[in-house]
Amino acid sequence: MPDHMIFHIVFLSQILLGSYFLPRLFLAHKKAIFKKYPPDEYPKLYPRPQAWYGKFHRNYLILSYGILLAGLVLLAVLVVTPRSGAWDQSIATWFYLLQVVPQIVLEIMWSKELKLMREINQDTTRKAELRPRRFSDYVSPKHLTILASVYLTFILFVFYIDQFDFPWFGGYLNVLIITVMNLFFASMILWRMYGKRKNPHESAQDRERSIAVVAKLLVFISIAVTITGTLSITISALDMRSINPIVHSLYLQALNVLVFRFYMHNYVDYDVYKAQPLATERRA
- Give me the long-range contacts of 257-266 (CB less than 8 A, separation at least 24): 257/17, 257/22, 258/217, 258/220, 258/221, 258/224, 259/100, 259/103, 259/217, 260/22, 260/25, 260/26, 261/217, 262/213, 262/214, 262/217, 263/26, 263/103, 263/106, 264/25, 264/26, 264/29, 265/209, 265/213
pLDDT score for 281: 41
pLDDT band at 222 (very low <50, low <70, confident <90, very high): very high
- pLDDT (mean) for 17-30: 93
- pLDDT (mean) for 69-84: 92
pLDDT score for 284: 41
pTM, full prediction: 0.83
The more confident residue out of 283 and 133 is 133
Least confident of 72-86, 128-142, 148-162, 202-216: 128-142
Q: Work out the percent of the chain whose per-residue pLDDT is above 90.
A: 43
pLDDT score for 16: 97
Q: Per-residue pLDDT for 135 more than 60?
A: yes
pLDDT score for 128: 53
